[in-house]
């Protein structure tokens, strides 16, 4: 499994036998095992978990739940949620790749309130302390000016916001804090779907930018085209964003 896809860390370089992944403060170069040694290694199905090794990698992720779902599609596994534990401002869970190598994922937790990070996707270039207010066009229908500003607990929802936002330039995702009350987004919750599966919210008050999320992974071109097609069909049917 290419861990860079599961943990939303950019993969650099083009040599398949020498992948590199990095964050702002670390670059990890993964060397292929020499052929004489590799030929003696047997990878079973499912793999035997190698939990007694000299090195164990720890990766920060925005969401353990999203990493768990993506890891399963890439041939690895993140342990179930009941095996998560908290400490030091994070929630942690172990997992393993298709060869059985064990790693740990850590999701940030604000211990004072128990709240999780809130995200907002946009194409605007902002800095910590900036305010994001209502008034931008919605992503479907007649794209009327919105009376609310939107945010989510999931990186996936914010990724859609960044990719579908109007304007030029690349999409950006920010960690934000509300400056006023927030409520469930009726476009994605009880008025259209049961509960709030995407943990999406809205507010009439501005959001304050705390930090920018870097290294997030966008949807595939096929997924993006399918979503744009869906939104275009909504526009043709006259379906508008709920702004009540």
Query: Which residues span the domain enclosing 195?
Result: 118-213
Same domain, 54 and 131: no
In the chain, how many domains are there? 2
CATH of residue 163: 3.20.170.40
pLDDT band at 11 (very low <50, low <70, confident <90, very high): very low
Q: How far is CA 2 from CA 55, 99, 176, in A?
A: 17, 11, 30
Alpha-helical (H) ranges within the chain are: 3-6, 35-38, 64-73, 155-164, 221-236
pLDDT band at 14 (very low <50, low <70, confident <90, very high): very low
Same domain, 91 and 130: no
Q: Which residue has the tokens 């870097």?
A: 214
Give the contacts of 9 (CB within 8 A, at least 6 positions apart).
3, 21, 22, 23, 59, 215
For the chain, percent of residues with pLDDT exceeding 70:
75
Helix axes 221-236, 155-164, angle to 10 degrees: 70
Give the tens place of pLDDT for each residue, 161-186.
888 887 778 899 999 999 998 888 88
Q: Please tell me the distance from the alpha carbon of residue 48 to that of residue 43, in angstroms, as a whole number.
A: 7
The answer to which of 25-29, 33-37, 205-209 has the lowest mean pLDDT is 25-29
**pLDDT surpassing 80 at residue 151:** yes
Q: How many CB atoms lie within 10 A of CB 140?
A: 19
Same domain, 24 and 100: yes
Sign of the C-alpha dihedral, residues 123, 128, 134, 135?
negative
Q: Which residue has the tokens 């690349």?
A: 170
């Amino acid at each position: 499994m290419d861990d860079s896809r599961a943990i939303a860390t950019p993969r650099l370089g083009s040599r398949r036998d020498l992948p590199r992944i990095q964050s702002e403060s670390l670059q990890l170069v993964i060397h292929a095992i020499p052929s004489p040694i590799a030929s003696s290694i047997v990878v079973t199905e499912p793999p035997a978990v190698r939990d007694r090794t000299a090195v164990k990698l720890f990766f920060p992720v925005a969401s353990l739940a999203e990493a768990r779902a993506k890891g399963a599609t890439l041939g690895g596994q993140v342990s179930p949620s009941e095996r998560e534990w908290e400490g030091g401002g994070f929630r942690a869970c172990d997992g393993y790749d298709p060869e059985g190598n064990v790693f740990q994922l850590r999701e940030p937790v604000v211990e004072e309130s128990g709240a999780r990070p809130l995200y907002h996707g946009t194409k605007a270039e902002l800095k910590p302390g900036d305010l994001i207010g209502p008034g931008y066009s919605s992503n479907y229908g007649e794209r009327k000016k919105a009376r609310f500003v939107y945010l989510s607990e999931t990186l996936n929802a914010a990724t859609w916001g960044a990719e579908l936002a109007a304007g030029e330039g690349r999409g950006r995702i920010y960690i934000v804090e509300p400056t006023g009350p927030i409520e469930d987004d009726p476009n994605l919750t009880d008025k259209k779907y049961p509960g709030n599966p995407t943990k999406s919210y809205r507010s009439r008050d501005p959001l304050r930018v705390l930090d920018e999320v870097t290294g997030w992974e966008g949807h595939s071109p096929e997924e993006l085209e399918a979503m744009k097609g869906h939104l275009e069909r909504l526009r043709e049917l006259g379906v508008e964003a709920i702004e009540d």
